[in-house]
A = this chain, B = another copy of it.
Amino acid sequence: MNIGTASEKSGLPPKTIRYYEEIGLLKADRAGNGYRDYSMSDVHRLRFLQRSRSLGFSVEECRQLLSLYGDKERESADVKAIAEVKLAEIDRKIAELASLRDALRHLVHNCHGDERPDCPIIDGLAGNGTVQ
Contact = CB atoms under 8 A, between A and B. Distances in A.
A107 B127 contact: no
A112 B11 contact: no
Given A48-B126, A113-B76, A90 B94 contact: no
Query: Which label, helix, strand, loop or mixed, suits the secondary structure of the A interface?
Result: helix
A69 B119 contact: yes
The contact size tier of chain A is 35 or more
Contacts of A72: 115, 117
A32 to B, nearest CB: 25
The number of times this chain is found in the oligomer is 2
Contacts of A47: 126-127, 131
B122 A55 contact: no
Given A45-B126, A72-B115, 7 more contacts: A45-B122, A47-B127, A47-B131, A54-B93, A55-B100, A68-B104, A69-B125
17 contacts: A10-B131, A44-B123, A51-B126, A51-B127, A52-B100, A53-B56, A54-B96, A55-B100, A56-B56, A65-B125, A69-B107, A76-B112, A80-B112, A83-B108, A86-B104, A94-B94, A97-B97
